[in-house]
């Protein structure tokens, strides 16, 4: 058989196939390089975000302690105001805002009278009969009602409402427990929640910054009721103690934002002069 002439189609086939393989290899290499670069950038961005969030979280903690130390100042006129005014400071590379409230701005359902709780519900537009019934239910639940019904009566009352449990007649461990009180719906609890605390004393502050709590107190006063409870287990803070709620927002590098809420008791009887009762935070 005679060999194919030079430049014929048969002689060019191996070279063309080899060129195609080379091109595909170059495309594959380019894809791998692009993937590695993209992944590397993503990893760097993730690391940057983690570092920024950690820095903002540390700044939020710093803001909390800054507020605590200011509240401990022996000079009353140098202490932080507890009226919710915005305070701004710079900690490292994070911009921090603080708002400090007196925890006694709100109502403690473990200690409040039925009349004060009724006033709260009335201020939230609950009908008079419903407000009185729910307020009585709360005080029966925590065991502070002026006239406690017997366990058998309460059990029967809850069974009639289709519930297979009865009030424990002990202080609430969390505000969310109120949703188990007969008659309190999720909607009613959501409306009450911003005006309640488990860390305040027996009486809300007369200078409360919460207009709903102020309205509840006016209702109780007009009803000639004594704001308080009979024989509570938790009697609130001592004479020299203050309980405050601190809201902190720290904006760190890389657009990191961390929100933190702390409830702190300032008292000379504490080892450090303060006790952090509750603290939780979250990154945005």
Query: Which overall architecture, per CATH, does domain 47-105+238-283 show?
Result: 2-Layer Sandwich (3.30)
> Residue range 57-86: average pLDDT?
88
What is the band of 270 on the pLDDT scale with cuts at 50, 70, 90?
confident
Helix, strand, coil shares, percent, the chain, to 5: 50, 20, 35
Task: Output the pTM of the full model.
Answer: 0.71
CA dihedral 67, 68, 69, 74 (to 10 degrees): 110
> Residue range 118-129: average pLDDT?
96
Domain ranges of the chain: 47-105+238-283, 114-188+217-222
pLDDT digits (tens, 9 = 90+) for 170-216: 999 999 999 999 999 999 999 999 999 999 877 899 989 999 999 99
Q: Find, among 257, 281, 278, 263, the residue nearest to 104 by Cα.
A: 263
In angstroms, the CA 277 to CA 145 distance is 27
The residue assigned the tokens 């594959």 is 28
Query: Over the chain, what is the mean pLDDT?
Result: 84
In order, the DSSP letters of 143-169 are: T--SSPPPHHHHHHHHHHTT-S-----
Residue 36 CB partners (closer than 8 Å, separation 6+) = none
What is the band of 16 on the pLDDT scale with cuts at 50, 70, 90?
low
Q: What is the pLDDT of residue 228?
A: 45
> Residue range 109-122: average pLDDT?
95
Measured CA to CA in angstroms, residue 262 lies from 84, 102, 118, 230 at distances of: 14, 12, 28, 29
Task: Identify the three-state secondary structure at position 27.
Answer: helix
What is the band of 81 on the pLDDT scale with cuts at 50, 70, 90?
confident
Q: What is the pLDDT of residue 83?
A: 87
Biggest distance spanned by C-alpha atoms of the chain: 123
- Phi, psi values for residue 252, rounded to 5°: -100, -170
- % of the chain exceeding 70 in pLDDT: 79
């Amino acid at each position: 058989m005679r060999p194919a002439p030079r430049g014929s189609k048969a002689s060019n086939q191996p070279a063309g196939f080899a060129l195609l393989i080379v091109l595909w290899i170059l495309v594959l290499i380019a894809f791998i390089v692009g993937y590695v670069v993209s992944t590397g950038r993503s990893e760097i961005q993730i690391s940057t975000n983690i570092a920024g969030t950690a820095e903002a979280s540390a700044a939020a903690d710093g803001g909390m302690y800054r507020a605590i130390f200011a509240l401990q100042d022996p000079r009353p006129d140098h202490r932080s105001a507890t009226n919710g005014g915005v305070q701004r400071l710079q900690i490292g590379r994070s911009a921090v805002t603080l708002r400090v409230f007196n925890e006694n701005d709100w109502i403690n359902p473990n200690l409040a009278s039925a009349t004060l709780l009724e006033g709260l519900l009335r201020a939230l537009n609950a009908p008079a009969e419903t407000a009185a019934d729910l307020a009585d239910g709360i005080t029966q639940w925590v065991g502070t009602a002026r006239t406690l019904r017997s366990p058998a009566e309460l059990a029967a009352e809850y069974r009639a409402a289709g519930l297979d449990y009865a009030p424990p007649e002990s202080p609430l461990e969390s505000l969310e427990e109120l949703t188990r009180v007969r008659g309190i719906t999720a909607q009613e609890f959501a409306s009450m929640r911003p005006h309640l605390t488990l860390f305040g004393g027996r009486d809300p502050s007369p200078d409360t910054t919460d207009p709903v709590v102020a309205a509840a107190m006016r209702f109780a006063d007009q009803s000639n009721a004594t704001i308080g409870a009979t024989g509570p287990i938790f009697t609130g803070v001592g004479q020299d103690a203050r309980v405050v709620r601190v809201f902190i927002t720290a904006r760190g590098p890389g657009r990191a934002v961390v929100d933190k809420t702390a409830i702190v008791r300032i008292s000379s009887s504490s080892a450090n002069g303060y006790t952090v009762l509750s603290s939780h935070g979250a990154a945005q």
